[in-house]
Structure 1
Amino acid sequence: MAADNLQERNSRRKMLRAIKESLEQLKSPYLSCADLRHLSIQRLSMSISPEKEPLFFRPYNAPIQPPEIDTLADYYPEFDESPFRNAGYLGWYLNQYFQNCILPKKDLNPPGSFYVDFGSFKFGKLMDVSKPQWQVQAAWNIAHVTVPHMKVLMYSGIIGNEDELFRGELLAITDVMCRRLNTKSLRSHIIAPVLLFSVVGMHHIRVMEAYFNGEELVVRATGLYDLKHQNHALLIQLSKWWLSCASDRSTQEY
């Protein structure tokens, strides 16, 4: 079994690297349906509604309250005409919100993750300074268990498009997956799910859950949520997904 898993992990990393290299050759930052098919990427729809069944990530199922930090409330972004700057401000705010929201029942219902310096995971650069710029703001793993699941928050200067995925989103996903499939402590796992929170211009976010099934990179994506104005109901819902735990779905076989 261990030898089979090693061979399968190597095979999947090789295919993911091939997808990444093809993504880097694209001239347009947006990917059409034809582009996705050519790259062996399958796009599906996703909902963060609590009524929907989870796939690899189960959202935090206890109450969450907004942070009680006056300065955080005061620092909700004031947006201007720069998509990248707007996305950076909003990405910073979301990162602070996720870290500081209040969990009244955390003793009985601990969150599925905690802050981690993502440099310790030895990912690649996770950024691109060429326009439209993009950068990863934060990456958390699942707390207290050895599973390959990762949650990633990124922001970019691209203008959000409901119909097309952004190259930077897929580059971040494939980079994280490749690294998780090359982590010794996770050698029994052949699937490395990624939950991506993608902040785009001018002031929107979408959530994407991705995994590689051995043949295709499957990407489930929500629509774009507008955060021009502070919306605590939406922020709480996003926080529940950011603090999610691993579901019971196996990552050791497919």
Structure 2
Amino acid sequence: MDDQLRVERKARRQALNAIYGQLGGLDHRLLPAQFKQVKINHTRMPLDADNAPYYFSAYPYPIDEPEYEYPEDAEDWPEFDGCPYKNAEHLAICLNRFLCRCEIPDEGTHPPRFEMSSWGNFNFQDLGSVTLGSQWQVESIWYDANTGSPHMVALMWSELAQPQNEELCRGEVDAAIMIMHGRLRDPALRPHVIAPVLLLSAIGEHYLRVIEAYFDKGQLTMRSTPLMDMRERDLGWLIALARWCWGGPSSKNTQLIKS
């Protein structure tokens, strides 16, 4: 690894550490007025052809609902109550079960780029917090095991009552930073200076949003979809989420452009 690349990767890790340190003094609910203070650029990201994630591509071939051998194996869609922590956790568990068991008919001829794994298999810190009132946890991750790209998809949940589209959970930002930092420490990913993260974020009471996060040009960008009400099981939306989990990196460059 040449000196310019080493210096750049270290500088980005240090910048991520600085943002992470500033977040420690803030509430679990991050307000728009605080984003500029901690160098976060928060923008909207509808999941359509014109505004799709920059660094990720969806799996383009058929994905079908899981076929469970026994009814008790199917995801038990939560009956949401007044506890944001339990609601978000139960929603993430249901999503995890669906996403890991969905059927990919063309897997033999058109295998997905991403593979599913536990975050414990990587060089991350503990991707979660048990602090009452601001609990969060990453459940599963998807990554490209074949080409050595730094991209990662993560399913997580956050404890937050009455979330708003213009706000973020501190847990969402913490998770993105910790994953990016770990990827930029990984010697196998040394050609790369951008480590994009796509979060599938379940939030109490019964919401979900997708967030694309990446650090470049001195700021952390968080592009989030509008909050989706998940009180009713929507198969079309679940399949759409599965496409992003089992997709892969886009063609957008993540390596250092040398000066």
Aligned to 2:29: 30
Residue 72 of structure 1 and its aligned partner are, at CA, apart by 4.3
Deviates more, 1:94-103 or 1:109-118: 109-118
Aligned to 1:98: 99
The 2-side partners of 1:224 and 1:10 are apart by 34
Relative to structure 1, the CA distance from residue 50 to residue 240 in structure 2 (aligned partners, 3 Å threshold; closer, same or farther) is farther
Task: State TM-score, norm by structure 2.
Answer: 0.93
Aligned to 1:2: 2
RMSD: 1.5
Kept in 1: contact 2:46–2:52 (CA 8 A): no
Matches within 5 A, 1:62-141: 62-69=61-68, 70-73=71-74, 75-130=76-131, 131-141=133-143
Alignment size in residue pairs: 253
Aligned to 1:146: 148
Runs of 4+ in 1 over 4 A off after TM superposition: 50-54
SS in 2 for 1:158: coil
The 1-side partners of 2:72 and 2:49 are apart by 30
Kept in 2: contact 1:72–1:93 (CA 8 A): no
Aligned to 2:20: 20
Aligned to 2:213: 210
SS in 1 for 2:97: helix
Which letter does structure 2 place at the counterpart of 1:203? Answer: H
SS in 2 for 1:153: strand
Give the gaps of 5 or more residues in structure 2: none
Relative to structure 1, the CA distance from residue 74 to residue 185 in structure 2 (aligned partners, 3 Å threshold; closer, same or farther) is closer
The 1-side partners of 2:174 and 2:193 are apart by 19
Map Cα deviations across residues 218-247 of structure 1 (whole Å, 9 max, x no partner): 111101011111100110111111112001
- The sequence identity of aligned pairs, in percent, is 36
Map Cα deviations across residues 55-84 of structure 1 (whole Å, 9 max, x no partner): 100011111111111334361222222111
Kept in 2: contact 1:12–1:214 (CA 8 A): no
Task: State TM-score, norm by structure 1.
Answer: 0.95
Aligned to 1:248: 251
Deviates more, 1:184-193 or 1:63-72: 63-72
The 1-side partners of 2:75 and 2:120 are apart by 29
Map Cα deviations across residues 123-147 of structure 1 (whole Å, 9 max, x no partner): 1111111112111111221231101
SS in 1 for 2:221: strand
The 2-side partners of 1:109 and 1:183 are apart by 29
The 2-side partners of 1:72 and 1:227 are apart by 20
Give the gaps of 5 or more residues in structure 1: none
Aligned to 1:232: 235
Query: Which residue, out of 139, 144, 161, partners 2:164?
Result: 161
The 2-side partners of 1:62 and 1:143 are apart by 20
Aligned to 1:193: 196
The 2-side partners of 1:3 and 1:175 are apart by 24
Matches within 5 A, 1:174-189: 174-189=177-192
